[in-house]
Every structure is written in structure tokens, then in C-alpha cells.
Structure 1
Amino acid sequence: MKEVLIEQLNERLFFEKMDNGLDVYILPKKEFFQTFAVFATKYGSVDNHFVPLGKEEPVRVPDGIAHFLEHKMFEKKTGDVLQAFTRRGASANAYTTFTRTAYLFSSADRVKENLRTLLDFVQEPYFTDQSVEKEKGIIGQEIQMYNDQPDWRAYFGTIENMYHHHPVKIDIAGTLESISRITKELLYECYRTFYHPANMAVFVAGPVDPGETLALIRENQGKKSFARPEEIRRIDPDEPEGVATKFRKMEMNVQTPKCMVGIKGRDEGKTGDEALREELAAELLLEMLFGKSSPHREGLYNEDLITDRFYFDYSRESGFAFAVIGGDTKHPDRLNERIREILFGAKAGTGLEEAGLVRIKKKKIGEFLRAFNSPEFIANQFIKYRFNGIDLFRVLPVLETIGCQDVIGAAERLISEDRITCFQIVPKG
């Protein structure tokens, strides 16, 4: 067991790599009432083309299978494992993103029992032909529900505009056609490849004893056998630099149009502090241009181009990065023009003053420190960053050193004519 002191946050993080390759992290938080644990695998919706464990030839599996597998993991021969958590007063859940799948629980007591259940159900797959067919109907309804949500369609429509071939353009749940091709055998193949302990991590945060918790996990893993770990061979798509589609419009049953501007980022394969610095600089850039205290946002509001539902987001994962800016508007074409004017003005240096950056950095530091009152935030963000080769506890020291030149550099990297797209949703007719 290794102990790492995070002086700036006055935290102690305990780490151990199990014999089977599983990375385990414990963050004791004696002042917390609840314990939060997450068991995650570096496997998400973009992992649809790979060489299965123990084989030589690559396969392309149906889109949405990672999300489908997440759903099926809760069903066992004895019933739904969620009931075991509920009986002990714990709240359990799971989620699938572009690049990872996570299973989690939070509880105030009986933590050891819940932790064993978490480890066991994730490492004991049980699929039948009948249950797989039943799940297709359930997930099919979920897909149709999201397809009817304008905000979701606007977000994924913008991503679809950006990418030519990269699977990030495909809805995490897949499509009705793609999930229809999922079989029990494919689920087991994906499970064997991506759910090996060497591709996974456990993070526990709360009022726990690090030594006892690691001993429990060590004992649990020692009773199980796994195949020899192998490097997972993912087949990356050949993705061009520029966006796939510059502009697209969709009609839906909405009263107010939506306009989203997307910026396709660059994947330069960076990790560690270098990648973190670029990510934080991009986030600060967007906050300076479109945050609630920015003059640009006030101007857009005064021009009647945006509402309170205006937002922006920057996402960076292994293999891709993008920004999305926009929301509801009565004038989608004009909003598209104004956002582009603001972006290219920033690339020329307009609106990126040191005073504004200092204010935004203080705000971001405050938000980050407040978020550390949530064990759920700590666990999920730590796993996300760890799978991307970044240390969550480096956020504050790196953030404090970012200057205007870093933000200007982010503008220069991100903002170019061939990397910007627009997706609009307008009322039918």
C-alpha cells in the first residue's frame, strides 16, 4: 500500500495495484457521512473496433454494446442485484460514457458488504439469449425517448457534424438497428476483453479505514482467477482534421429554435500535466468568452439572441476533444454569426485580458474546492482523469500557473474555419 500526501488539499490518497492488475485508490474522508465507491472499466461507446482478448483478427461490434452490457450486468441468475444494495440502504447505479463504464454505490453503513457486492457483481457476468432479447426492447424505448428530446438531438447533432468516421459521433446507446444485432456471445466477448482487472480501477471515498478497505479488496480479488492480462488493441479510425459538415438543420416539434456551434479539437496524444494544462486553458477560454460574467454573454442577451438556457461545454478524452456552444434562440442564424465573431475575435486577442482571467481562475478554483465536499465528484472525476493519463489532484497546482498566453494558445489551437460547425433545430413548417 502506497500513501500519497496531497498537501494543497490536505488529503491523503492510498493506492495499491492488485496482483491481477486492478488499481485501487482509497481517499479517507472522516468528516463525510456517506461512503462512495466506483468500480470502472476503460471501455465506452467509442470502443467498437478492436482485437478481442486471445484472438488476432479485429472485430467491429454493434454500436451501443458497451451501454447494453452495462444494463445487463445488473441481472443475475438470482435476480436483480440492485435489490441487494437497496436492502442494505445503499443507492447503486451505473453509467456509460464515450470512453468508460462505471458501477457505483453510496451508503452510510454496511459499507463492507456493499463493496463486496459491487466487486462481485461486476466480475460475474450472466447473460442469456432470452434476457438479451428482452433488454433490446427496454433500451430501444430509451433510444426513442432520447431521439424525441430536442436538447439531446442538438448536442449529438453537433457532434455528428464534427466527425467523419470517429465513433464519438454515434449515440452512446446506439441505434435501434445496431442493438438488434447484439447477441449473448458478443456481450461475453466484449466483457472478456475490456472487463479484465488490468483495464479497471476502484476508487473509494468516505469515512473508511484505508488498510481495512484494501485488505477486503485484496482478499476478494485473491479468490478469483483471470486470464493473463494483455494490452487491448483498439483500432482507431482515420479521422480528418476538419469537420464533416459545416451546417445542418433539423425540424422538430419545438416552439423555440436551438442553435449549437461546435468546435472540433485536436488530439495530439498528450497526457499528464501537459494535457491538463491544455484542457484547463480551453475551459478558461470558453468561460472568459461566454461565462455569465462575460461582456459577450451580456451582449448576446441584450441583442435578444440567447435565453437563460444558453450554455457551453468542453470535452476532452483520449482520442478526441470538442467544444459545444449555444442554446435556445429566436434568431438561430444570427446567433451562429455572433458566436463565430466572438470566437475569431478571441483568436485575434480580443476579450482575453489578464484581469478577466484572474477573476475566472478564482471562480474555477472555488468551484473545484467546493466540489471536494462531494465524494461522488471526487471518485468519478478521479477515474475519468486517471483513464486519460491525468492526475485529478494536479488540477489546482496546474490551474494556478495558467496565464493569458496559455488561453491565447488555446484559442489559436481550437479556432479555425475548418474546425467550426453549426447545427440547428427549428420548428416544423
Structure 2
Amino acid sequence: MRKQTYKQFGENLYTETLSNGLTVNLLPKKGFHKTYAVFTTNFGSIDRTFIPQGKTEYVTQPDGIAHFLEHKMFDKKGYDAFDLFGKYGADSNAFTSFTRTSYLFSATQNIKENLEILLNFVQEPYFTDKSVEKERGIIGQEIQMYDDDPDWKLYMGILNNLYPKHPVHIDIAGTVDSIAKITTEDLYLAYKTFYHPANMDLFIVGNIDPQETLNWVIQNQNTKTFPQFKTPNAKLPLEDPNGKDIIKHAEVQMAVNRPKSIVGLKGLDPVPAGRAGLAYKLKVNLLLYLLFGESSQQYLKLYDSGVIDDTFSYEFDLARSFHYVSFSGDTDHPDQFNDQIENILTNAQQILPTLTDQFELAKKEMMGRLVARMDSVEAIANGYEGQLFDQATVFDQETIYEQITLTDLEQVAKDLFNAKGLSTFQIMPMGVKP
């Protein structure tokens, strides 16, 4: 078991790759009452076209298959995994993203028993035609609920503009029509292709003894056999590298009181691999905070002029095969909102050299937030991205932040803030003419 010591934080991370390929990370937190474990597979909603294990031809499954599979994993023959966790005093949940699916529990007692439940229910699929049919109705209601949510509609609208070919523009849950096509055979095929220990990682953080906990995992895995595994070959549609397939503007009408606007920027620049990719992500986060944080000159100017209000937010998302920035909010001046956000992005390279003092303050603020996250077992485990950033954890980020310079941000702004990647999407009140 490899030990990584973070002296500045007094933390030790223990990592072991088991004989079946499962990567296990253990972070003991003495004095903490709660233990949190998350079991993740490198399979998300964009992975719908792939070559199944042992086959040579691509198959394309219905949209929403990864999310549907996540829901069905809890349903077992004669019992529900949620109930079993509850019996041993644990809270459990799961979530699906565009690129990963995670199953988790948190508990203050019976850690061994709850860990057994987690490993067993994820590694023992059980699907029937009857239960799949029942789940269609449950997930269908969830989809319809989100379809009526203007903020969700705004978010998916800009993704559709930025990525009209890439499946990231498709709702993680799919559509009512797409999930109606999902069969029991589809679920088993996806499971057998992606839910192999060699394509998964387990992160446990809390009041644990690392060697004892690792022994529990090894004992559990040694009772199971897994077939030979080949890294899944998932295929994505080809996109124009210069952003020519981006939809520049779209708008819809919904029952909202005020217009909603979002500016999206598709990353057309290459993202470095491994931990250099994590450094890129942190630089972008710092760059956006410096330009659009609530204490920034740009934010205050937009706020004082009434173009934005407290609903304004920005987001940077970087995952396997895509990255983008978005800026959104309710506004009485949607066209000005779009124009002024785009203007700040376009002129970022001229703005940044004037922000030397603000840069140092912003850097301290971001590092302070990072340190605060280190006291959260959930933030530590959920912040782990596995293969994407070469197994880096939140504790590796502090050193990266220390090394970032204002010149680095200027270079990132030059590379990322490409006008060819811009798009806007608006939701207008009913009856308002475009």
C-alpha cells in the first residue's frame, strides 16, 4: 500500500490497486465521527456508443442508459439496498454525471458492514423486465419535472448550442422516449462493459484504520471472480475544431416573470493530460473568480448598472472530452447581459495586467476555500477524479495554486477565451416578441 504524506495538512493518503484492477484510496481522519465512502465507475451519460466486452462492433444504446442503470442497481432480488444501508445506520445515495457514476454511503457506525453492502450491491446486478418497466415511470416523472424547470432548460439550452453533435447536450437522464427503449439486455450489456473493478475506484475517508479497512475490501473482492477486462472503447461524434458547428444564439418562451440569459463558451483549446489538466482547471477557476467574483470590478459594474442581480452565477466544467464556461442569470436586459459578458471575455487580456493586487487577494481566497473543503469528508472523496487528473486529490491542489502566476492566467485567457466558441441562449416570458 502506497502512502502519500501531505505534511502541511497533517494528512496521509493510502492507495492500493488490487489484483482485479480496483483502485482503493483510504484517508484516515482522526477525531471525525463520520466515514464516507464512494464507489465510482468511469461510465457516464456520454458513453452510449461503445464496443462491448468481447465484441468487435460498436453498439449505440438509448440516451439515459447510465442514469437508468444507476437507479436499477439498488433494486435486488427480495430487497432494496437503501433499506439494507438503513438497517446498519447509514445514509446512501448515488449520482450520474456526463462521465462517471458513483454510489456512496456515510455512517458513524458499522463501517465494515456498510462497506460490504456497497461493494456487493454494485457488483451484483439484478434486473428484471418487470422492475425495468416500473423504473421507466419513475424516471419519466423525473425527466418531466426537469423539463418544466426554466433554470434546467436554460442550462441544457446552452449545452445544445455549444455541443450540437456531442452527447453532452443530451440530458443525463435521457428523454421519456429514449428511456422507453431501454431493455433489461441493454442494462446488462452496459454493466458488463463498464462495471469492472479495473474501470472503477473506491475512496474511503473518515474515522478508519487504513490497513484494517483495506483488508475488508480485499477479503470482499477475493470472494468474487471477474472476467478478463479490456478498457472500453467509447466513440464520440467528430466536432469542428474551430467551433463552426456551434449554434450562436437560440431562445425559447416559458412561463417566467423575467428573462433568463446564459452566455456559453466552448473550450476550443486543448487541455493537458493528467495533473497538468488539474492545473489548467484551477487556473480557469481562479481566472473566473478574478474577473467575475462578487468583489471584482467587472461584477460590481454589471451589478450597479442593473444588468445582473443576485441570481448571476458562472460555472466551469471540465471532463473527459469536453470543457466549457457559462454565465447565467435573470435579467431585465438580456441583450446587454450577453454583450457585456462577451466584452469582458474578449478584453480579458487587457484587463488582467491591471489586477495585480486583486490577483493576490483572489489567490488567497481560493486557497482558503480549498482548505475549508479539507474538513469535509464528502468534499475530499467527491473531489477525486480518478484517471482524469492522474489520481490527484484536493490535497494536491494547494501546491498548484501556490505556483500560479498572473501571467499564467493571461495565457489561459488567451487560449480559452476564443470568440469562435461563444454562444448565447435566452428564455423569454410568454408573449414577448423576439
Q: Does the 8 A contact of 1:349 with 1:408 survive in 2?
A: no
Query: Against the structure 1 CA distance between its residues 210 and 2, is the aligned structure 2 distance closer, same or farther, given a 3 Å change threshold?
Result: same
Q: What's the offset of the Cα at 1:348? A: 3.4
RMSD, aligned α-carbons = 1.3
Q: What's the offset of the Cα at 1:310? A: 0.4
Q: Which residue of 2 aligns with 1:16?
A: 16
Q: Does the 8 A contact of 1:273 with 1:394 survive in 2?
A: no
Q: Does the 8 A contact of 1:257 with 1:426 survive in 2?
A: yes
Q: Which residue of 2 aligns with 1:160?
A: 160
Q: Does the 8 A contact of 1:266 with 1:320 survive in 2?
A: no
Match status 1:289 vs 2:291: yes
Q: What's the offset of the Cα at 1:79? A: 2.0
Q: Deviations over 1:274-317 (max 9, x none)?
A: 21221111111111111011011111111111111100010111
Match status 1:389 vs 2:387: no
TM-score by length of 1: 0.97
Q: Deviations over 1:307-340 (max 9, x none)?
A: 1110001011111100011211111111111111
Please list, as runs of the form range in 1=range in 2, the aligned pairs for 1:142-291 lying within 5 A after superposition. Answer: 142-241=142-241, 242=243, 244-266=246-268, 268=270, 270-291=272-293
* Counterpart Cα distance in 2 of 1:269 and 1:412: 14
* Counterpart Cα distance in 2 of 1:2 and 1:390: 13
* Counterpart Cα distance in 2 of 1:43 and 1:88: 29
Q: Which residue of 2 aligns with 1:399?
A: 401
Q: What's the offset of the Cα at 1:80? A: 1.2
Q: Which residue of 2 aligns with 1:132?
A: 132
Q: Which residue of 2 aligns with 1:43?
A: 43
Please list, as runs of the form range in 1=range in 2, the aligned pairs for 1:261-410 lying within 5 A after superposition. Answer: 261-266=263-268, 268=270, 270-350=272-352, 353-382=355-384, 384-389=385-390, 391-392=392-393, 393-410=395-412
Match status 1:114 vs 2:114: yes
* Counterpart Cα distance in 2 of 1:351 and 1:258: 32
TM-score by length of 2: 0.96
* Counterpart Cα distance in 2 of 1:27 and 1:96: 24
* Counterpart Cα distance in 1 of 2:375 and 2:93: 20
Q: Deviations over 1:174-195 (max 9, x none)?
A: 1111111100001000000000
Amino-acid identity (%): 45
SS state at 1:421 partner: strand
Q: Does the 8 A contact of 2:29 with 2:208 survive in 1?
A: yes
* Counterpart Cα distance in 2 of 1:169 and 1:340: 22
Q: What's the offset of the Cα at 1:272? A: 2.5
Letter in 1 for 2:49: H
Letter in 1 for 2:331: T
In structure 1, list runs of 5 or more residues that go unmatched: none
* Counterpart Cα distance in 1 of 2:275 and 2:188: 36
SS state at 1:363 partner: helix
Letter in 2 for 1:244: I
* Counterpart Cα distance in 2 of 1:163 and 1:352: 34
* Counterpart Cα distance in 2 of 1:66 and 1:411: 34
Q: What's the offset of the Cα at 1:266? A: 3.3
Q: What's the offset of the Cα at 1:387? A: 3.9
Letter in 2 for 1:391: A
Q: Does the 8 A contact of 2:289 with 2:362 survive in 1?
A: yes
Q: Which is worse superposed, 236-245 or 254-263?
A: 236-245
In structure 2, list runs of 5 or more residues that go unmatched: none
Q: What's the offset of the Cα at 1:386? A: 4.1
Letter in 2 for 1:260: I
Q: Deviations over 1:377-414 (max 9, x none)?
A: 101111x2544435123211011110111111111111
Q: Which is worse superposed, 361-370 or 384-393?
A: 384-393
Query: Against the structure 1 CA distance between its residues 132 and 352, is the aligned structure 2 distance closer, same or farther, given a 3 Å change threshold?
Result: farther
